[in-house]
Amino acid sequence: LAADALRHLALDERAKAHIEQDQVLRPLFERMAARYIGGATLPECLERITAVNAQGHAATVDYMGENTRDAAKAHAETEEFLRLVQALQGRQFNSSVSLDLSHIGLIIEPEICHYNAGRIAAAAREIGTEMIVSMEWSARTDLILAAYERLCSEHSNVGITCQARLHRTPADLDRLLTLPGKIRLVKGAYQETADVAYPRGSDELRATFLGLACRLIASGHPCSIATHDPDLLDELETFITAGGWRAQPYEFEMLTGLGNLEGLRQRGHPTREYVVYGREWFLYLCNRLAEEPERLFTAVADALGA
Ligand code: FAD
């Protein structure tokens, strides 16, 4: 119930506007979000990346946003990504860039998206880093994969995210493994129907994630295993040790404020923290809380400063 309520809240523009304008609610929600985001502004985010790198983890940074419906806004958001890449170069951070293609024009016109994504990928390549494309809901998978394949034909530093939940993903992986880009495996965060995806929290989803992760690690293809699920992580560590896969180009990746990346680093695995920043934190916060409604208790404690 709590998860459903949070998902509805996330999509409710009136509730969002109310909270953003309310003198009491806004600071409370901002304190809840602080655990999960790298800041509202680029300078704040750079501080977070400095701390993440100092802890021995690589980072990837996403300037939050999706579903941009106006071309001028898509170009303006692209400029912020370019400022981000420039800032990464200035201070020699160990960080890549991650983004939703719908943030920079995908649902306006694929050509706009290709132009904007190409500029960010080229800037990232100049500073020797990657641009990883996030995966959105299943109705967009084909569009995103087509955009990714086109970007790959022009840029060698672009990677993609795959959702283990989707029944189509094993077949998509066959195709993606023929391209050079890094593949990030996640469970999948969007509301999907049973004909396209395994239910959240199901045994089938865990088994599929495990199988795909093992396949990626053993393939020798650059990959990122992105989960906070402690049981899955235990099984994957056992798989890596038993199979002698330590030298493969894999890494474990987690979102800011979730999971135990430090334990993995201490046991010698490459680790990366996914840091988001920006002012679109409301939807992001609701999604993190909806995934695990028990996080509401922590959120309330954060809000009250307890
Ligand atoms: P969950 O299913 O959330 O948790 C599994 C189990 O672990 C649960 O039993 C839970 O109680 C337990 N658990 C969770 N956290 C903790 C903890 N901190 N301590 C102890 N136990 C815990 N989704 C997309 O759809 N598209 C994307 O492009 C995308 N990019 C992502 C990038 C990264 C780096 C990451 C980490 C996630 C991304 N996601 C993306 C989100 C992803 O799809 C999942 O929604 C999210 O990661 C939650 O799934 P999970 O695998 O972490 O495990």
Q: What is the ipTM of this complex?
A: 0.91
pLDDT digits (tens, 9 = 90+) for 203-241: 999 999 999 999 999 999 999 999 999 999 999 999 999
Cβ distance 133 to 159 under 8 Å? yes
pLDDT digits (tens, 9 = 90+) for 48-93: 999 999 999 999 999 998 899 999 999 999 999 999 999 998 778 9
CA of 145 to the centre of ligand 1 (A): 22
Cα 53 to Cα 55: distance, rounded to the nearest angstrom: 5
The pTM assigned to this predicted structure is 0.92
Looking at residue 3, its pLDDT comes to 66
Do β-strands 250-255 and 158-163 pair in parallel, antiparallel, or remain unpaired?
A: unpaired
Ligand 1 pocket, residue 243 CB under 6 Å = no
CA distances from 123 to 83, 152, 278 (A): 10, 15, 20
Residue type, 232: L
CA of 110 to the centre of ligand 1 (A): 29
Q: Which residue has the tokens 């990657």?
A: 130
The number of the ligand 1 atom at minimal distance from the alpha carbon of 292 is: 3
Cα 135 to Cα 255: distance, rounded to the nearest angstrom: 15
Q: Where are the alpha helices (DSSP H) in the chain?
A: 2-11, 13-21, 25-34, 42-54, 71-90, 110-126, 141-154, 169-176, 203-219, 230-243, 261-266, 281-291, 295-304
Ligand 1 pocket, residue 253 CB under 6 Å = yes
Cα 56 to Cα 294: distance, rounded to the nearest angstrom: 29
Cα 169 to Cα 184: distance, rounded to the nearest angstrom: 12
Ligand 1 pocket, residue 229 CB under 6 Å = yes
The number of the ligand 1 atom at minimal distance from the alpha carbon of 229 is: 7
Cβ distance 164 to 209 under 8 Å? yes
pLDDT digits (tens, 9 = 90+) for 238-296: 999 999 999 999 999 999 999 999 999 999 999 999 999 998 777 778 778 777 777 77
Domains of the chain as residue ranges with CATH? 38-277 (3.20.20.220)
Residues in contact with 92: Cβ distance below 8 Å, sequence separation at least 6, in sequence order: none
298, two tokens: 């922590």
CA of 255 to the centre of ligand 1 (A): 8
The number of the ligand 1 atom at minimal distance from the alpha carbon of 228 is: 52
Cβ distance 289 to 6 under 8 Å? yes
Residue 4, pLDDT above cutoff 80: no
Cα 171 to Cα 157: distance, rounded to the nearest angstrom: 23
